[in-house]
Amino acid sequence: MSDLLSIRAARRSRARLPHGLGQRGRHFAEMVVAMLVGMAVLGPLWRLAWPGRPPRADLDVAVMVLDMTVAMVAWMWLCGHDRGAITLMSAVMVLPFAVLLPAYWARWLSGDALMTGGHVAMLGLMAVVSFRPSRRPTVSTSQGE
C-alpha cells in the first residue's frame, strides 16, 4: 500500500502543474484505457457474481458505467487528482446514461441507441471537461508593475 501512496504522491506533484494540450490529451487517453481495462477486468467478475442477470440494456449499461467509473476513479486517484476533479469526471461519465435511461424505459430508444448515445455523449463531455481552460491561478513573473 505504501508503494501505491508513494506513486500517487509523485504523480500528484506533476498533476498540480499547468497541463498543456498534449498532456491533457495523453491523460484523456489514459482515462479511456483505464475505462476499457475496467470493463475487461470487472465485467467477468459481474458474470460470476450475478450469473442469472437478465440480458437487458439498462442493466448492461449500469454495470458497464460502474466498471468504467471505478477504473477511471482508481486511475485518477493514482495520478494524484483531487476529490473534486475525480467527482466531476465521474459525474460526467454517469450523467449521459442517466439522462437517456428514461427514454429507453419509455421505449423511445432502443438498447443500441442507449449504449451508443450514452458513449458518444460521455466521451464528448469528458473531452470538454479534460480540455477546458485551467482555472488554476497563474503566478505573475512581473513584480510591482
Q: Output the CA–CA distances (angstroms, integers) from residue 121 to 9, 60, 94, 95, 124, in the order listed.
A: 32, 17, 10, 9, 5
138 inside domain: no
pTM: 0.75
pLDDT at res. 132: 82
Residue 12 domain-assigned? Answer: no
Give 106-128 pLDDT, tens digit per residue.
999 999 999 999 999 999 999 99
Total count of domains within the chain: 1
Neighbours of 69 (CB within 10 A): 19
Integer CA distances (angstroms), 56 to 14, 43, 63, 77, 83, in order: 42, 15, 11, 32, 33
- The Cα 35–Cα 75 span in angstroms is 9
Residue 127 maps to a domain: yes
- pLDDT value for 139: 46
Residue 136 falls inside a structural domain = no
**pLDDT tens digit string along 65-105?**
999 999 999 999 999 999 999 999 999 999 999 999 999 99
